[in-house]
Amino acid sequence: MATALKNLDDYSTASFADMSDKKFGLVVAEWHKDITDALSNGAIETLLKHGAKKENIFRNTVPGSFELTLGAQFLAQHEEIDAVICIGVVIKGDTKHDDYINHAVANGLTNVSLKYNKPVSFGLVTTNNLEQALDRAGGKHGNKGVEAAAAVIHMLSF
């Protein structure tokens, strides 16, 4: 399914620098794996499009989105890593788990970014149902993995 998903994104690249000398961490949650793979592919394609070298993209998986924060920290702590992109999908269920996870990740990634003084992007798709998630992973609302990669490129060009 992931490869069938098409990226429809459009973002401004006016201020983007060349990324050929930068190293990127990519942390991908395995819950809703087909969707996070599509988001991850969008992020990688975007980094390559802006000059990043394949060998400078360090992709790791974590079990679920809650673990994105520690995964980001594991990567951000390395001096040679310039930025970290985090990818996950949290879909609302019968309980409030989504609220707890989403807030924890938003706060956690903010803290990692500020602690290490590096861009750490929030590529967490938080939706009410599966269809809304697919719409944001290469469907009618684009690919949020592309946007998460574009965000760190923008910040590295600051």
Please answer whether residues 25 and 127 qualify as being in contact, where contact means their C-beta atoms are separated by less than 8 angstroms.
no
Among 34, 97, 132, 157, binds ligand RBF (CB under 6 A): 97
Closest-by-Cβ residue to ligand RBF is 64
Among 35, 37, 41, 66, binds ligand RBF (CB under 6 A): 66
Among 37, 38, 57, 67, binds ligand RBF (CB under 6 A): 67
Closest separation between CB of residue 65 and ligand RBF, Å? 3
| Of 87, 68, 89, 95, nearest in space to 133 by CA | 89
Closest separation between CB of residue 31 and ligand RBF, Å? 3
Q: Hey, how many other C-beta atoms are within 10 angstroms of the C-beta on 78?
A: 13
Strand extents, DSSP E, the chain? 24-29, 57-62, 83-91, 120-127, 137-139, 142-143
Find the part of the chain contacting ligand RBF (CB under 6 A) among 49-57, 84-92, 109-117, 146-154. 84-92
90: contact with ligand RBF by CB under 6 A: yes
Listed in sequence order, the residues at least 6 apart from 21 whose beta carbon sits closer than 8 Å to its beta carbon are none
87: contact with ligand RBF by CB under 6 A: no
Among 88, 108, 142, 145, binds ligand RBF (CB under 6 A): 88
Listed in sequence order, the residues at least 6 apart from 24 whose beta carbon sits closer than 8 Å to its beta carbon are 47, 52, 56, 57, 58, 81, 82, 83, 84, 85, 152
* 78 flagged as catalytic: no
Q: Which residues are catalytic?
A: 97
Residues that bind ligand RBF (CB under 6 A): 29, 31-32, 63-67, 88-91, 93, 95, 97, 101
